[in-house]
Structure 1
Amino acid sequence: MLVPHRSKAEPEGIDEDTHWDLLQQCLHDEDLPLDVRAAGSLLLLFGQHLTHVSALTTGHLGVQDSHHTIRLDSTPIRLPQTLATLLTRLVEQQPRQGWSGNTPVTLLFPGSRPGTHRSASSLARALSRHGIPIRPSRATALIQLAEEMPPAVLAPLPGLHVITALQWRRRAATDWTAYLQARQQAIGRPRQNTS
């Protein structure tokens, strides 16, 4: 018996203004918890899975040519200064006493047990509680990155497979085409006189 393949539904994104408002909130809102701000920024800027974000360590952070960087895969990515400062604060707030003081690597998002990172589901709940939708934010970030970079350049930055990066590129082109069509239709419609 042949079972037909059922394709996954494309994740819905959020509108660009909401996406950038959420990113600005994560980068600058001191009322948000620091871990939510850092995880939200990495999600909204780089489209990272929370399973990857939650496992990040200080070993993923670096300095290259006097600029702070993060390695999400093998390629260091230059960080905006605001995010670099945020991640530095996150590292500095980690307790360095007892068992963790003997560990050479510091987890950016430590779990409740020594040597373990925070679970992705716990991080997701924290982000959701503060109004940051996980899947739509990731989809929007990846679409925006795919619009700006060819798949071969995009793939090694956030750690995507080239085929996955190509699929996001196609999705970005589709979204852009739909936007242009909607815009053309809006321009073609006669304006209503409001006076």
Structure 2
Amino acid sequence: MRSRLRRALELLDWLDEHGIALGELAQPELEMWLEEGAVERREVRAIVTWARGRGLVGELVVPRARIAAPSVFIMDEEQAEQLHRCLSDDALPLDVRTAGALTLLFGLQHTKLLELTVHDVIDDNAMVALNLAGHRLPLPPEVARLVRALRDPCQARWQLDQTASTTPWLFPGQEPARPLGATYLNLKLRRYGIAPRPGRNNARLALATDLPASVLANFTGTSISNATRWTGYARRDWLDYIASRTQI
């Protein structure tokens, strides 16, 4: 609330400097003020809506901030090498291998991964899938093997002592009642040479070239608006993306 009030005061100061009364503020001037400052100025939307409802200003609209297109990628060869390590390098921790493979293949966000429990692993012996918000994500055999290996000890520990945690997390933290932290998982992947954000971007862009937005949203557990943006990115010239691929 304080931040919104500060933005309102900033706008009023700007109007005073330019000799514009609040009731005379027009859309072009409002957008100019927004573009001149930081993205936090968009928080003035609540005040503008309030003033418009009371007839203090005209039909002003605060445009939502434009979401920047992803710009951090890695070369396909490097992504393939990282995925190969996740699938075959027994020296890597199992949670790193599993999270890395799911990120590099399906572009899953860490927050989605860390919400998974052992009950979200659908295993009928013939096929293994993950339950992502009610939608099944079938897993290739090598990834299924990793998920099973991660699930089994978590399930066994939970069955032995269900009082320690009411939720059998697939990626448990040091405390049984909590999953791993997203920041910790991100740092752990990077420590072992897995690039989470560039790898996730690569995976989503590749999927978006073949899948409609609705299927992509279900497949990756992301929102339909986010999936729609990715399908839009995929329709652009691939050369623009290849030229911008840099690893963090």
Q: Report the TM-score, using the length of structure 1 for normalisation.
A: 0.82
State the shift of 1:53 in Å.
Answer: 1.2
| Structure 2 residue corresponding to 1:8, chosen from 68, 71, 79 | 68
Amino acid at match of 1:57: T
Distance 1:130 1:170 in 2: 32
Aligned-residue identity in percent: 33
Mapped partners of 1:7, 1:155: distance in 2:
18
Query: How far does residue 78 in structure 1 lie from its aligned partner after superposition?
Result: 1.1
Q: Which of 77, 87, 96 is equivalent to 2:157?
A: 96
Q: 1:65 to 1:33 in 2, by over 3 A?
A: closer
Out of 37, 46, 49, the residue aligned to residue 106 of structure 2 is 46
What's the counterpart of residue 128 of structure 1?
190
Q: Residues 100 and 114 of structure 1 are in contact (CA less than 8 Å); yes or no, is this contact kept in structure 2?
A: no
Select which of 132, 135, 156 maps to 2:218: 156
> Is 1:139 matched with 2:201?
yes
- Tell me, in whole angstroms, the C-alpha distance in 1 between the residues paired with 2:138 and 2:200: 19
Contact 2:114 2:179 in 1 (8 A): yes
After TM superposition, the structure 1 = structure 2 runs for residues 72-87 of structure 1, keeping only pairs within 5 Å, are 72-87=132-147
* Larger CA deviation: 138-147 vs 18-27: 18-27
Which sections of structure 1, spanning at least 5 residues, go unmatched?
181-195
1:173 offset after TM fit, Å?
2.0
Aligned equivalents of 2:187, 2:237: Cα separation in 1: 29
Residue 110 of structure 1: aligned partner: 172
Contact 1:54–1:123 (8 Å) recurs in 2: no
Given the alignment, which residue of 78, 85, 104 partners 1:18?
78
AA paired with 1:172?
A
Q: Partners in 1 of 2:209 and 2:77 — Cα distance?
A: 16
Runs of 4+ in 1 over 6 A off after TM superposition: none
Partner Cα distance (2:213, 2:172) in 1:
33
Gaps of 5+ in 2: 1-10, 12-29, 36-64, 243-248
Please say which of residues 70-79 and 116-125 is displaced more in the overlay: 70-79
Count of matched residue pairs: 181
Aligned to 1:191: none
Task: Say which structure, 1 or 2, has more relative contact order (CA 8 Å, 6+ apart).
Answer: 1
Segment of structure 1 superposing worse, 94-103 or 51-60: 94-103
C-alpha deviation, 1:75, in angstroms: 1.2
Whichever of the two has the greater Rg, that structure is 2
Deviation at 1:24? 1.4
